[in-house]
Amino acid sequence: MENENALGSPKIKKAEPKLEITLSELKEFVSQSQAEYAKIIADALIQSKIPYVDPRQKENEEIFRKSSRETADRILDSIKRSQASCPHKQGCNELSEVQGALSSFVFHRLDTGEVVGLCTNCQKEVRSTNPADAAFFKDKSANRMSSAGVRTFMDPRKAMLKGRLDGGAEVKEKEVV
Ligand SMILES: [Zn+2]
């Protein structure tokens, strides 16, 4: 039944139905609303602390990173090619006038006892634990070996391999026991 007469007099409000809710339900509803509100505030605070970065700056940085990666790749490629053709002898650099018969490796004994050699021309790295590098340790060198302090290990060979960045992976593959 409509509560409005033909002259358009104001509606008479119907009585709204009463809500039946227990105290614990009310408490739960209130605490839930508070938790949601707290989350909104926390998210807003976190967002406000993130500094604004201009998208053009990001783009420039990406271009710079890409260019740096390309340069590094070119250098690595050049080193690899140089290592493949290097005789590892003193004076073997293409700018040198005379090439000697002595080895161009400089050697260093690590505290694990492993000896590491580095070619002063092509940067090739050789290690006493790698059987494939044995020949490089036979050549006479004018460079005097440097050395770290000496430590004693229960298992010296294990210590040498563990001391390497790759854990001696290369040696383990090639090694014939
Ligand atoms: Zn070399």
Measured in Å, residue 166 CA sits from the centre of ligand 1 at: 22
Ion ligand 1 — residues with CB < 5 Å: 86, 88, 119, 121-122, 124
Q: DSSP H helical segments within the chain, as ranges?
A: 23-49, 55-85, 156-162, 169-174
pTM surpassing 0.85? no
**DSSP state at residue 120:** T
Model confidence pLDDT, tens digit, residues 114-151: 999 999 999 999 999 989 999 999 988 888 899 988 88
What is the spatial distance between Cα 93 and Cα 21, in angstroms, rounded to a whole number? 91
Q: With 60 as the cut, is the pLDDT of residue 7 above it?
A: no
pLDDT digits (tens, 9 = 90+) for 75-111: 999 888 888 889 999 988 888 888 888 999 999 999 8
31 Cα: distance to centroid of ligand 1 (angstroms): 73
Q: Which residues of 64-84 are buried (b: 16+ CB within 10 A; e: fewer)?
A: eeeeeeeeeeeeeeeeeebee
User: For residue 172, what pLDDT is reported?
Assistant: 59
